[in-house]
Amino acid sequence: MDSVGTGLATIDWNDGRADVSLARPAKRNAMTVDLMRDLTRAFERVDDAEDVRAVTLLGEGPVFCAGMDLHMMRERVEPDADVERDVFPELLAAIETARQPVVVGIKRAAPAGAFELTLPCDFRVIGRDATYGVIEVTLGTFPHGGATQRLPRLIGLSKAKELVLTGEFIDPEEALACGLVHEVCEPDAVDDRARAFADRLCENAPLGLRNAKRALNAALETPLPQGLELERSLGRELDDTHDYREGFEARLEDREPEFRGE
């Protein structure tokens, strides 16, 4: 396991899967500027690793993330505070633009900023006891770390307005029903289920995963003709690859494919 930066994030490399973890368990992984910087560096390192096919985002200890560190947030409202406000958006962008699919394990709690931290991930696995939602309107502000833009794209505008404007937590089973999360499991199984989800992805061709993710991420931002052209272009990139040939040969020979990412 590798520590990153100040040691508030770690990377565990596991045969095609990289586990990126928030490493501040004594504070329920509440996010400070240093922790967010470390997580950003961790995702940049993983993104550069050619042998990584899928990523998990986890929290060390019993809680995924309690949100933003309250001491940091109190300092933010001071008139002379010098808090770097771009750190969180940069972290979310690093997760969102990662070439590999990212699976987050939401264990016990992910309120406010922690909720927003999960939104750029591709898949969300949650414990059935988790407190999960954007509560900022009950704190005198509103969620402006991306929730007002990403959440409607995930669950539709009406449901997003309900969550943001009431500031209420969403029950994990309801989150599953509306497509916000992809699996609900027992609280103590969250990290293992997130790893298992990522391992399923690792069985597939890494170049296919990466190009499919690029095409899908563009779908809601791109007019249909341009989106279809992007899809065709990304498909053509794989025509002469080993993995494309290997996938069909393995199917014809009734065996498991041996993808190499090339």
Neighbours of 162 (CB within 10 A): 14
Q: Domains, the chain, ranges and CATH? A: 2-202 (3.90.226.10), 206-252 (1.10.12)
Q: For 204-224, what is each residue's pLDDT tens digit?
A: 999 999 999 999 999 988 999
Residue in the block written with tokens 């690029």: 214
Contact 5, 38 (CB under 8 A): yes
* pLDDT, tens digit, 9 for 90 and up, residues 228-238: 999 999 999 98
Cross-strand pairs, 12: 19
pLDDT of residue 82: 47
Q: What is the pLDDT of residue 84?
A: 62
pTM of the predicted model as reported, rounded to 2 decimal places: 0.91
Residues designated as active site: 116, 136
pLDDT at 75: 59
Q: Are 26 and 71 in contact (CB under 8 A)?
A: no
Question: What gap in Å lies between CA 44 and CA 100, rounded to an integer?
Answer: 11
Whether 20 contacts 56, CB under 8 Å: yes
Task: Name the DSSP letter for residue 137.
Answer: G
What is the distance between the alpha carbons of residues 99 and 213, in angstroms, rounded to a whole number? 7
Under-70 pLDDT residues of the chain: 70-84
